[in-house]
Structure 1
Amino acid sequence: MFKPRPVEARAPDERDSAESLAQTLPPLILAAEHLVNAFDMGVHGRRRAGTGEDFWQFKQYGPDDSTTSIDWRQSAKREHVYIRQKEQETAETVWIWRDDARTMAYGSVREGPSKLSRATVLSLALAMSLSKSGEKFGLLGQDEKASTGPASFNRLVDRIGTMQTPSLQSLTSANRLSNKSTVVLISDFLLELPDISDVIRHFVNLGCNGYLLHIADPAEVDLPFQGRTRFLSMAEEDSLTLGRVEAVREEYQTLFNAHRTAIMSLAENVSWDYTFHRTDEAASIAFAKLYETLNIRGAAK
């Protein structure tokens, strides 16, 4: 699959990509920490009523509420009848998979983020936020148990910096997930739809919930190039030259949007969540959707 990259901006090989990522991890961690701190201060968690033991709030009694939940002491102090709600126990484990295929190294703006760096920041921010809230997480496709806390986050950072991520297709061999797990897949999803569908169906059959975070470079969406342009394949040593790239822009955008819509439909058909994110947008936009959809609680006190 050809990517809209000018010939002078040749993709790095896998070793260069790995070394480059390892060198940039510290600033990416700082960027992730900035995201998490902003949401801890501004959102204070997304708690829900449930069957836990921790008190959450008093709520006015409604026709769908059980009479056994009425708090008679509080009701006696007020004009209406109130129930005592408890915070929902979160028994889920969040498994994170961040694609590091060669296509993820693409970045059309020299000073802007590549798809890989943006995916890494969002993965780190998600893990950091889960760690601070006391919820279990782990890297999908790695031989380790999910856990939480600073040590778990540091282990995740080390694995991201030193180990190659397994391919999306290989995730169909991941069978040790409980049916209360949530799978977060972060990728450009430049794969055939049947391959993506097989992975989603595998986790659905395990009883997992899921979240697809689809990342794209703005040049991949808009194809903004003009005139004669040579495109280099990110995955193979191959190239394609177009005499007037603007002549195929509309057809290209139609195909790109059709692929994006098809991926979204795959998610919606199994009640998974889907977010499309361009790297020229603020990382906080994508993280906000992750934060809210996964119902991450405020940092543990």
Structure 2
Amino acid sequence: MLPHARAVFISDFMGDPVAVETALTEAADRGVTGALLQVLDPVEEAFPYQGRTIFESMGGMLAHETRKAGDLRDRYLERLAERKDRLATLAARTGWQYSCHHTGDPAPAALLWLFHAMERLA
């Protein structure tokens, strides 16, 4: 990224958080400002699964099968909340903006947030 540019990172940010932290810290060190927009499916926030469930990555490269999905709910939701907090803290520490958009909500709301977030950085 060019020094003093603006950037937008859009992802579910469910991968390695260290990679995001490294990229954002390096960008901030170059004077780059921007916004992190986390996009999650409402099901990821509710975790309504019970009984036998197979979880697969979008590309099908990773899979996890469990017979007691309900037993994973509290731990999963705790880790998701920690990840969201980690992203928000990282954004605040580097002068970036952070928001979480749910795919069940209208997309224009996320785009409007991005517009205003980038406008604040101008």
The count of corresponding residues between Structure 1 and Structure 2 is: 120
Match of 1:261 among 81, 85, 92: 85
RCO higher in structure (CA 8 A, sep ≥6): 2
Match of 2:65 among 231, 236, 241: 241
More helix by share: 2
Which SS does the other structure have where 1:186 is aligned? Answer: strand
Work out whether 1:211 is the aligned partner of 2:9.
Answer: no
> Structure 1 270/238 Cα, relative in aligned 2: closer, same or farther at 3 Å?
closer
TM-score by length of 2: 0.87
TM-score by length of 1: 0.37
Structure 1 segments (4+ residues) deviating >6 Å: none
Q: Distance in 1 between matches of 2:63 and 2:85?
A: 27
Q: Distance in 2 between matches of 1:274 and 1:192?
A: 18
> Structure 1 212/237 Cα, relative in aligned 2: closer, same or farther at 3 Å?
closer
Match of 1:224 among 48, 53, 72: 48
The answer for the alignment partner of 1:196 in structure 2 is 20
> Structure 1 287/238 Cα, relative in aligned 2: closer, same or farther at 3 Å?
closer
Q: Unaligned regions of 5+ residues in structure 2, if any?
A: none
Amino acid in structure 2 at the alignment position of 1:228: R
Q: For residues 1-301 of structure 1, what are the structure 2 equivalents within 5 Å? A: 174=1, 177-179=2-4, 181-235=5-59, 237-295=61-119
Which SS does the other structure have where 2:119 is aligned? Answer: coil
Q: Distance in 2 between matches of 1:294 and 1:210?
A: 6
Amino acid in structure 2 at the alignment position of 1:253: L
Q: Distance in 2 between matches of 1:280 and 1:182?
A: 28
Amino acid in structure 2 at the alignment position of 1:196: V
Which SS does the other structure have where 1:294 is aligned? Answer: helix
Q: Unaligned regions of 5+ residues in structure 1, if any?
A: 1-173, 297-301
More strand by share: 2
Which SS does the other structure have where 2:65 is aligned? Answer: strand
Is the 8 Å Cα contact of residues 34 and 118 (structure 2) preserved in structure 1?
A: no
RMSD: 1.8
